[in-house]
Amino acid sequence: MAAFPAFLLLFVAVVSGQIQITPREAVRQVGESLDVLCKVNYPISFCRVEIGRESYTIPSNSPAPGDPTYYGKGLQEGECGAHITNIKEAWNGDVYCSVPQQIGSREIKQSMKLIVARPPGNPELIVSPQQNELKEGETIRAICRVPRGRPAANITWHLGEEEILNGLKPPVITNSSEPGLEDVTQELNKVLTADDDQKQLACRVSHLGLNRPLEARRQLDVQYPPRRADGSSDEQITIFGLKIQEDGRLNVTVRSNPEPTVEWKVSDVTLLPGHPNSHPNENSVWTALHPLRLPQDETPGSGYYNITLVLSPVTSEDVERNYFLTLSNKHGEKRLMVKLSTLEQPAAQASILRLNVYGMELEAGAIVGIVVGILILLLAVFLVVFAKATDRWCFAGGRGRDHTKNSGESSDTESAVGGRPSRLASLGARVRSVLPRGKDKVQATEPQADKPLAEDKKGVVYAELALGEQTSDKPQPPSTEYAEIVYTEQPKETKETKE
Ligand SMILES: *[C@@H]1O[C@H](CO)[C@@H](O)[C@H](O)[C@H]1NC(C)=O
Ligand SMILES: *[C@@H]1O[C@H](CO)[C@@H](O)[C@H](O)[C@H]1NC(C)=O
């Protein structure tokens, strides 16, 4: 069973006759030339090629102009080749070569595929949805169809200067209505962004038969609500570098499609463009300007506008104010609060459109840094003080000593209380040793202080004792009171003298 396919293979190899043909396939334009070589490993007595509907014997004693000529090292070498010139469109198809069989009188032949290129027709680009105005976030489906090419044309997609590589489906090649030609179709799905606005979506067709690519284009009009030009969602903008008593221009660069309408609100006064000097107060005149469209070659994209409020001149009160700016178009609105500063722009690098944000970001970053720094410092100071005050923590030597002390104490407590778990006892000891020393002493004196309070008439005597014990650590107001009672007949006078 297994021998059967092998036998079949051998049979095919013998019948197709050990002829090696090169190339096996070639694409040529009309008028170009092609060399085809067939080779066997024995000397041959003749060589014949078939091109289109004609059959030629080569080399020929009397070739006609335009006939193929012999190509190869000679029939003795087993080489049967043809140099074909001035290729005609009708020759599209198989090219054959025939040579005699090594033994016997039959002819054997071999073929290669000659594709005579035929440039495709003009590409067709269909974008849906079909209306002109598209919205940011919307997904468009674009289909490019290139008819009647041979071989099928090659499609690439471009948006502005950039090639689109994502969102493409594989090209689909189908037989054209015209026999021997192929149509090719490719689909692109793309989510629109503001950056796509005013760019050309192009389906570019390249083909061997074309000197320059063909293109089908569509300009995109992608609309979106107004926003800050730098893409920041921060609603506050600070304008730096204004000078008191000089004219000041509050420029805010925004992006919007279509153009935004502008409304400024300053100290409850509404300022609209087209009403020059619309708020003359006693010191200065405020004028809202119409949006100024920035030239597209000076901005990273389309839809950039400068929105400007002119203060002539800037007064010191103006610096204190907030300037509320509302921008709107049919897709939405954006409110911004503009503040002024007479300081220079911090960190004056980066592109013109990002300057303001960079200023803000740096400021915020610095504040966060300072706060974090202070917190770390406080924590460090606290840890050191704590460790020193309790004579514990962080000091390896101290820790060992504490342990011995604790175990001693705990055993004491255990015996005193009688049968309590030593863990709990040592915990109690630890807690006490962590507490400030002053309180520890108070605790220690408490039992003694309780007794005199119980026999309260004679508290005077015990108060003296308490005074003696406590003076070393803290001067106690109660002890002065007791002293008054003991030694003085007129408490009021002593009080006065002490104060
Ligand atoms: C605002 O724009 C004008 C140009 O229109 C420029 O001269 C001025 O310096 C800008 N002002 C600020 C604060 O950026
Ligand atoms: C637009 O505003 C920016 C500040 O946001 C300013 O630097 C620039 O000069 C302005 N350009 C024009 C043409 O007014």
pLDDT in tens, 289-316: 999 999 988 888 899 999 999 988 888 8
Beta bridge partners of 217: 202
Give the least confident one: 183-187, 213-217, 379-383, 450-454. Answer: 450-454
Please report which ligand is nearest the Cα atom of 345.
1
Q: How does the average pLDDT of the chain come out, rounded? A: 77
This prediction's pTM: 0.61
Query: How much is the pLDDT for 379?
Result: 85
Residue 481 pLDDT greater than 70, yes or no: no
Query: How much is the pLDDT for 285?
Result: 84
Query: How much is the pLDDT for 371?
Result: 65
Q: Among 239, 242, 253, 336, say which to mutate for ligand 2: greatest number of ligand atoms within 8 Å of CB.
A: 253
Residue 442 pLDDT greater than 80, yes or no: no
Proportion of the chain above pLDDT 90, given as a percent: 52
Token output for 148: 């009647």
Across the range 218-238, mean pLDDT stands at 93
Residue 220 pLDDT greater than 70, yes or no: yes
Contact by Cβ (8 Å): 256, 327:
yes
CA of 275 to the centre of ligand 2 (A): 21
pLDDT in tens, 35-59: 999 999 999 999 999 999 999 999 9
Query: How much is the pLDDT for 344?
Result: 86
pLDDT in tens, 179-192: 999 999 999 999 99
Residue 413 pLDDT greater than 60, yes or no: no
Q: Is 276 in the pocket of ligand 1 (CB under 6 A)?
A: no
**CA atoms within 13 A of residue 258's CA, in its CB half-sphere:** 4
Q: Cα–Cα distance between 254 and 307 in angstroms, integer?
A: 7
Find all residues with CB under 8 Å of 111, minimum gap 6, and list them: 21, 94, 95, 96, 97
